Structure 1
Amino acid sequence: MAVHKLILDDAFDEVVYTLIAIHCMLEDYRLAYLLNKHLGISLTRKSSDLDYKNSAVSYSIYDWEDTKQLVTWSLVSNICKTETLKKTEYTSLFDTEQKITKTSHLLPEYKTVNYFLKIDSEFSFSKEKYILNNILSIPQIATAYSVDSSQLKSKDNLIFS
């Protein structure tokens, strides 16, 4: 009996997407509205947020599936702030509990980035530059730039499905 050996390429491991980092002080819904307006897309809030660390940390996510071009657009927050109460021993009548705010990041290597726009398709350089120029034309956005996804250490956090 003959033995058949299948060798799979590494092409299946690498998912092709474009990642754009966005710096701004807008709320997520406002940024989604402005991106929809300037890029001609229709981002909508998903019914559930991205949950990590046993639902202790969650990030808001907006997405849109372009069925004509077979492209999925996702806008995800990079920052999650959680408040916890510090347990203290009460020694007097006027002691109060302290609130501690902890900040978590979806991609810790980009702590200054507020949002990421992930486009599940590889665009040509000119198309990517066109998208970046449209994003930068929004006055409320401080800056935006492309991120090389092959250099990311925590790229597993960008798997939304």
Structure 2
Amino acid sequence: MPIHKLDFEDFEEINYVLIAIHTSLEDYRLAYFINQKLQINLSKSENEIQINVKEGETNFSRFFYQNIEKEISWNLIQNKNEVIQQKKDNIQNLFSNLTLEVLTKVFLLPEYKKVDYFLKIENIEETQNIDKVQTELNKIDTISAVYNVDLNKIKSKNNLIF
């Protein structure tokens, strides 16, 4: 029986930058302002990011744009969502048939719980372009903070594969 060896160099590494965005805007409004500032065309993707956690299953909204000329992909991803859990009350009393609904916050990247959205840019080459993107994002009035995320510090990188 022949032995097949896989080398990590055989796999193409996806080059991407992750920018954290702090804002109180709704996702569609943020996408609109980003489109205006960066001259791109983010649009709502039907392929939301589905995550299964111990609390339940949830979907994170995603806005997507691909520049075919430059081969750059843009993803605006929601980081916070809520899961509704149904809990049956086990105590025998007047309200014993009552089912409780408990809302639990769930995060796409739990290491960054204070971040509202992430802008994932794939195949962007120059650091100068990333700085320009951050400068333009900071010009949006309702964004309070924008910064690069160190990809080596992310423990849940699998949630960014879509």
Whole-Å separation in 1 of the counterparts to 2:159 and 2:51: 9
Q: Could you tell me how far 1:51 is from its partner in structure 2?
A: 1.0
> Is 1:125 matched with 2:127?
yes
Structure 2 matches for 1:144-155, cutoff 5 A?
144-155=146-157
1:25 alignment counterpart = 24
Q: Distance in 1 between matches of 2:43 and 2:84?
A: 27
- Asked if 1:137 is matched to 2:136, the reply is no
Calculate the TM-score normalised by the size of structure 1.
0.86
Is the Cα contact below 8 Å between 2:109 and 2:156 reproduced in 1? yes
Range 119-128 or range 38-47, more displaced: 119-128
> Runs of 5+ in structure 2 lacking a partner?
none
Q: Residue 93 and residue 145 in structure 1: after superposition, are their counterparts in 2 closer, same or farther (change >3 A)?
A: closer
Q: Mind listing any 5+ residue stretches in structure 1 that lack a counterpart?
A: none
Q: Who is 1:63 aligned against? A: 64
Distance 1:31 1:103 in 2: 21
Is the CA contact (8 Å cut-off) linking 2:17 and 2:122 kept in structure 1? yes
TM-score for the superposition, normalised by structure 2? 0.85
Tell me which residue corresponds to 2:84: 83
CA drift at 1:39: 0.7
Provide the secondary structure at the position in 1 that maps to 2:76.
strand
- Cα distance in 2 for residues equivalent to 1:7 and 1:93: 60
Residue 20 of structure 1 aligns with an amino acid whose one-letter code is I
- What is the percent sequence identity of the aligned residues? 32
SS where residue 29 of structure 2 aligns?
helix
2:131 aligned partner, one-letter code:
K
Question: Where does 1:105-116 land on structure 2 (aligned, <5 Å)?
Answer: 105-116=107-118
Question: Which moves more between the two structures, 9-18 or 66-75?
Answer: 9-18
**What is the Cα-based RMSD across aligned positions, in Å?**
2.6
2:15 counterpart residue number: 16
Q: Specify the code of the residue in structure 1 equivalent to 2:16.
A: Y
Deviations 1:69-115 (A, max 9, x none): 11110011111112223311461269854331111111111111110
Corresponding letter in the other structure for 2:52: K
The answer to whether the 8 Å contact 1:44/1:62 transfers is yes
- Contact 1:132–1:145, Cα closer than 8 Å, also in 2: yes
Q: CA deviation at 1:57?
A: 1.3
The one-letter code matched in structure 1 to 2:32 is: Y
* Alpha-carbon offset, residue 7 of structure 1: 7.3
Write the deviation string for residues 3-27 of structure 1: whole angstroms up to 9, x where unpaired: xx98745473632101100011111
Higher strand fraction: Structure 1 or Structure 2?
2
Paired residue secondary structure (1:138): coil
